Amino acid sequence: MELLLQTFIDGLLMGGLIIIIGVGFSLCFGVMHIVDFAVGEWVMLGAYTGWLMVRYFGHDAMFYLPVIFIIFSALGWVIYPVILQVVSGKRFNPAIMGLIFTFGLSITMKGGALTVWGYHIQSVPTWLTGKTLYLGPLTIPGLRVSGFFFGILVTLLLLAFLYKSRYGNVIRATAMDRDTANLLGADVRKVGAVVYSLYAGITAMSGALIGALFSVHSVMGAKYTMLAFFVVVLAGMGYVPGVIPAAIILGLLQSFVSVYIGGRFNLAALFLVMYGVLLITPKGIFRRGW
Amino acid sequence: MELQAANPKTLRSSLVWRLTVFILLLVICFIFPWIVSPLWLRIGTEVVMWAGLAQSFNIICGYTGRLDFGHGAFFGIGAYVTGMTMTLLGWPFGLGLLVSGIVSALLALAIGYPTLRLRGAYFAIATWSMGELIRQIATILDITGGAFGLQLPAVLNLPYFYYIMLLVTGLTYLTTYLLVEKARFGYKLLAIREDEDAAEMVGVNTASTKNWAFALSAFFPGVLGGIYAYWVTYIHPDSVLGGQITDVMCVMAFLGGIGSLWGPFLGAIVVQLIQRVLWVVWGEGTFYLVIIGVTICAVILFIPNGLVGLLEGTGLFSPRESVNELRKKIKW
């Protein structure tokens, strides 16, 4: 019983962290119809930036999260026109071209990180590291709890922005029907740029958090690309509110498979579920995807 | 616009030009093992293998328009089937190769039947997860040697492997030429690539056509994977089932020119040579990843038709004819 509860809590906390990656990714897909293969690489770059900042400027990693958000939003803003040119030019298959382009970006980022920082594994200490909450027989690491709440907070803020603000309405209209939104006066180019920079910023920020929680290394990206894809497939591509339950399902699945079946079946179970969901309901478990 | 009649004289001279280059290429391919050092023979064998793999990827991606991000899995399955039939069952090499080709084609039929209904990014993600799933299964199972991999009997005969690779790769190109470029089957694939609903409307059985194309594109990597396994004598999940196999195939096909017969061949030569030269110059490094990544981005941005697209008009290659281009020539 204790094991069951502990597994449940571990999965829940892990899921909370994955929400942040999934939410930006899903938004990016919904508005721009781009599947960004570089999502894990943004996580990796964010983690390295956090590590570098702590190393050179001191202070706590948590303190730098907003800074990382701003840096990577700017980077996303700069890269966006290039991606737009790829997906909107006269190409033989824009969707595939966009996919391959971001895939090239991801290889470049990974190769660059490997060349500059090598295979060493780094860790980012914060004041929460090692602080643990004891709840009866259960142990809850403080850092994971803060990651969980941070993830929920960021997601809620983003949802509030999307559903309550005027510009959020414009973004959702563009996601629904790009051409009509454009006719009604929405600047879809700018909407795309805003969404892409939001996505890059949020993902990199979650990367810094992940770096503090686990570790920082150059090839960590692939794992988070996988997790982001899983979440988005389960939630339905482009359906942002579905990300929260999907990420929690993912966390629970991972921790239950690890504990009750065996750690080596972890990824196999993940891909099996992802493939199954794509075959049975390609629009996600809520059937609300794009 | 009206249909433009080509000048018969230019047509004939371009045909002569093309035949000359083709025969020259064949001769070079055949005498290659006698004129180079063993190191370059190894590199040549790799180039030939990748040329075949990139062409098989081209069948499903370039001609059918489905981005298969798990195509490397068929290569790994071929390698494992050959390895397992040779070590566990003691079958001869040739039989193992045939069986691995058939197994990967059958697997492609089984995977393709449900998966090919998905389009665009959905298909890419589904095949990607399938490929990773197969890698995980190979890592978990005991019969495949788990993460430690398989050791095959060693044969040190470089020209033998070169010629057998050349034979299979040649068959890949011949099949693509006969079945996809010059037959009704290929026209159906092009119709599906350009507009699947319209193809269905005019009576193409899209489901079965796509399935056969997928099986065809999976057969050759299976056989090539088997040869590769016997050639390098040691395989493990990361070396033959890893994502990098698909990555490299994809890069080669896109760099050379997707949807054209000679594109993957050019791409394979260029990418593999660059990779090897960098490897010789800088040693075991990771910088080639940056170069590959930047190459992909640059190709997609600036030459979406690949190297073949650049060479169009020289008469060396027949240009890729998309339905859009055909439409331009014909008055509607």
Q: What are the pLDDT digits (tens) for B177-203? A: 998 888 888 888 888 888 888 888 888
Short-list B61, B16, B13, B7, CA closest to B246: B61
Report the pLDDT value the prediction gives residue B3, as an integer from 0 to 100.
Answer: 47
Number of domains in chain B: 1
Flag residues of chain A having pLDDT under 70: 89-92, 128-130, 290
Least confident among A128-137, B208-217, B271-280: A128-137
Q: Given CB atoms, is A268 within the 8 Å cutoff of chain B?
A: yes
- Contact at CB, A100 and B67, closer than 8 angstroms: yes
Q: What are the pLDDT digits (tens) for B257-273? A: 888 888 899 999 988 88
With 0-12 / 13-18 / 19 or more C-beta atoms within 10 angstroms meaning exposed / middle / buried, residue B54 is buried
| B315 three-class SS | coil
**What is the nearest CA distance from B303 to chain A, expressed in angstroms?**
10
For residue B146, pLDDT over 50 is answered with yes
- Contact at CB, A96 and B65, closer than 8 angstroms: yes
Q: Given CB atoms, is A219 within the 8 Å cutoff of chain B?
A: no
Local confidence band at B152 (pLDDT 50, 70, 90 cut-offs): confident
Chain A, 168 to 207: residues with Cβ < 8 Å from chain B are none
pTM for the whole thing? Answer: 0.85
- B1 located within any domain: no
How far, CA to CA in Å, does A282 sit from each of A139, B127, B208, B209?
A: 38, 13, 21, 22
| A33 three-class SS | coil
- A233 located within any domain: yes
> What CATH number is given to the structural domain containing A167?
1.10.3470
| A131 three-class SS | coil
Q: How far is it, in rounded angstroms, from Cα B219 to Cα B113? A: 16
Q: Which are the contacts of B280, defined by CB distance < 8 A and separation ≥ 6?
A: none
**Alpha helices (H) in B262-314, listed in sequence order:** 263-282, 287-302, 306-311
Least confident among A89-98, B210-219, B310-319, B322-331: B322-331
- Contact at CB, B67 and A278, closer than 8 angstroms: no
- A153 located within any domain: yes
Q: Given CB atoms, is A235 within the 8 Å cutoff of chain B?
A: no
Contacts of B287 in chain A (CB under 8 A): 111, 115
Q: Given CB atoms, is A279 within the 8 Å cutoff of chain B?
A: yes
For residue B319, pLDDT over 60 is answered with no
Q: Given CB atoms, is B120 within the 8 Å cutoff of chain A?
A: yes
Least confident among A52-56, A97-101, B28-32, B309-313: B309-313
- Contact at CB, A82 and B288, closer than 8 angstroms: no
Q: How far is it, in rounded angstroms, from Cα B162 to Cα B175? A: 20
Structure tokens belonging to residue A45: 């770059």
How far, CA to CA in Å, does A45 sit from each of A75, A108, A286, B188, B313?
A: 11, 12, 32, 44, 43
Beta bridge partners of B234: B151
Range of the domain at B259: 8-329
Q: What are the pLDDT digits (tens) for B70-94? A: 899 999 999 999 999 988 888 888 8
Q: Given CB atoms, is B238 within the 8 Å cutoff of chain A?
A: no
For residue B331, pLDDT over 60 is answered with no
Q: How many Cα atoms sit within 13 Å of B261 on the Cβ side?
A: 20
The chain-wide mean pLDDT, for chain B, equals 83
Local confidence band at B10 (pLDDT 50, 70, 90 cut-offs): low
- Contact at CB, A101 and B296, closer than 8 angstroms: yes
Q: Given CB atoms, is B250 within the 8 Å cutoff of chain A?
A: yes
Q: Which are the contacts of A236, defined by CB distance < 8 A and separation ≥ 6?
A: A242, A283, A284, A285, A286, A287, A288, A289, A290
Report the pLDDT value the prediction gives residue B101, as an integer from 0 to 100.
Answer: 94
Number of domains in chain A: 1
Report the pLDDT value the prediction gives residue A258, as an integer from 0 to 100.
Answer: 86
Report the pLDDT value the prediction gives residue A201, as an integer from 0 to 100.
Answer: 93
With 0-12 / 13-18 / 19 or more C-beta atoms within 10 angstroms meaning exposed / middle / buried, residue B272 is buried
For residue B1, pLDDT over 60 is answered with no
Q: Which of B120, B126, B286 sits opposite A278 (nearest CB)?
A: B126
- Contact at CB, A267 and B122, closer than 8 angstroms: no
- The single residue listed with the structure tokens 């390895």 is B83
Roughly what angle, to the nearest 10 degrees, separates helices B38-58 and B206-232? 170
**What is the nearest CA distance from A223 to chain B, expressed in angstroms?**
12
Range of the domain at A175: 2-280
Beta bridge partners of B185: none
Report the pLDDT value the prediction gives residue B2, as an integer from 0 to 100.
Answer: 42
- Contact at CB, B296 and A106, closer than 8 angstroms: no
Q: What is the 3-state secondary structure (H, E, C) of B127-169?
A: HHHHHHHHHHHHHHCCCCCHHHCEECCCCCCHHHHHHHHHHHH
- B289 located within any domain: yes
Report the pLDDT value the prediction gives residue A45, as an integer from 0 to 100.
Answer: 92
With 0-12 / 13-18 / 19 or more C-beta atoms within 10 angstroms meaning exposed / middle / buried, residue B149 is buried
Q: What percent of chain B has pLDDT over 70?
A: 89
Structural contact between residues B116 and B207, judged by C-beta atoms closer than 8 angstroms = yes
DSSP type of residue A236: -
Q: Which of A28, A97, A99, A103 should one mutate to test binding to chain B, selecting the residue with the greatest count of B CBs within 10 A? A: A103
**What is the nearest CA distance from B92 to chain A, expressed in angstroms?**
32
Q: Which are the contacts of A14, defined by CB distance < 8 A and separation ≥ 6?
A: A144, A250, A251, A254, A255
- A167 located within any domain: yes
